Amino acid sequence: MSNPEHHDNPDEKRRGHLPVWRDDGQVLQVNEIFYSIEGEGLRVGQPTTFVRLARCNLRCHFCDTEFDRYTEMHLDEIVAEVAHHPAQWVCFTGGEPLSQHLAGLADKLNTAGYKLHIETNGVVAPDPALFPLIDHWTVSPKRRRVVDGFDRITELKYVVGKAFSEDRVEEELAEYIYLQPESSEPRYVQKALEILSRHPHWRLSSRIHKMLGLP
């Protein structure tokens, strides 16, 4: 999933969501592949090659990613492009990466020795074939409850905006809980800090790649 600010979205709740798109997984619709650092959550600061998949099963009104734009790439082309970059980590983002059949690509990258991270909206149940291949699962929930079917969630990352309420945090699902103030606005930083004072084992996240002017 992209790293736009994720907010509660009543319109989206009313509309429901779009079907996922999965063929045999040998060709994927890729929005872009780029090298940067991970800017959010537990892996912050680690050099990472991002594979941004096209398509999303949601249409959040605040989304800042042009995920409908894509190039169709065979898995071997994607692996070759990833190999141009020096990172050990590869992060699947989007759009919604679970909207496409990712297991074949994850298998090839895993075999090539990369560590794999996925960032998902928590609305699409993952393919169980991904469980032994993905090292780091980030769910940034776009519905009040995360869909069933995750084997393990490394971190749940909630954007704290006007509508956010701490009672929606599904603490039991994840190893780490992150609160990310929407647009780094001071009022939401303050709101996140107040919530953290009641839950000191949760953590604050920001988008340091944005602060540093990185992609």
CA distance 58 to 161: 19
Question: Does 30 sit near ligand SF4 (CB under 6 A)?
Answer: no
Tell the residue number behind the tokens 């619709």, with chain if given: 29
Q: Is residue 91 at the binding interface for ligand SF4, with CB under 6 A as the rule? A: no
Applying CB under 6 A, what is the total number of residues that bind ligand SF4? 16
- The distance of closest approach from Cβ of residue 68 to ligand SF4 in the complex, given in angstroms and rounded to an integer, is 10
**Biggest alpha carbon distance in the chain?**
48
Residue 95: left if φ>0, alpha if ψ -120 to 50, beta else—which one?
A: left
With CB under 6 A as the contact rule, the residue among 52, 101, 117, 142 that binds ligand SF4 is 142
* Closest among 124, 119, 126 to 140, alpha carbons compared: 119
Q: What Å distances lie between residue 192 and 122, 177, 201, CA to CA?
A: 21, 12, 13
Taking CB under 6 A as the criterion, the residue among 33, 51, 53, 60 binding ligand SF4 is 60
Considering the rule CB under 6 A, would residue 59 count as an interface residue with ligand SF4? Answer: yes
**Residue 126 lies near ligand SF4 (rule: CB under 6 A):** no
Q: With contact defined as beta carbons under 8 Å apart, do 65 and 94 qualify? A: yes
Question: Does the protein bind ligand SF4 through residue 207 (CB under 6 A)?
Answer: no
| Residue 121 binds to ligand SF4 (criterion: CB under 6 A) | yes
Beta bridge partners of 136: 117
What minimum distance in Å lies between the beta carbon of 42 and ligand SF4?
19
Residues lying near ligand SF4 in the complex (CB under 6 A) are found at: 1-2, 4, 6, 56, 58-60, 63, 65, 67, 94-96, 121, 142
